[in-house]
Structure formats: C-alpha cells, structure tokens
Amino acid sequence: MRVTPAIMERMRAASAISKEAGRDEGLKIARESLLEVRDLIQGVQVSAPFGNVKYALEVFSVLEGFEAQQLVQ
C-alpha cells in the first residue's frame, strides 16, 4: 500500500489530538482503503496493532455481512 502525504497528514493531525483519535483515524483510513480495492483483490491481510485483534476486525466492519462479534469471543 502506498501511504500518500495526505494520509500522513490525516494521521499526524489526528495523533496530535490524542492517541485514541490517531487510532480511530487509522481505522477509518484502513476501512476507506479496503472499500477502494475490494473489487480488485482476492484477499487482504490486516495487522492487529499491539496484538489487539478487536481493532483489526473493525477494519472489516465496512463489508456487508461481516460480523466481527462472531469471531471474537
């Protein structure tokens, strides 16, 4: 994935607000990116930041029919 200056600026601005705002903006960017490429790819790998699978699964919440609650028990 190419990280553009615009994405870097979004992350910088959000991170300046708070750690949580930076995390939320990163999730938003990941969701937007997934929606942009979903018809062009057969799969995707998402890293769990600091081992927190909940945040990695939140990226997929934009996909129709995806239920993260079923995967995290």
CA–CA separation, 1 and 13 (whole Å):
21
* H helix and E strand count, the chain: 4, 0
Q: Residues 53, 47: contact at Cβ < 8 Å?
A: no
pLDDT band with cut points at 50, 70 and 90 for residue 68: low
For the stretch 30-63, pLDDT in tens is 999 999 998 998 888 888 878 888 888 888 888 8
**What does the CA dihedral 62, 65, 68, 73 come to, rounded to 10 degrees?**
170
**Predicted structure pTM score:** 0.80
CA–CA separation, 43 and 51 (whole Å):
21
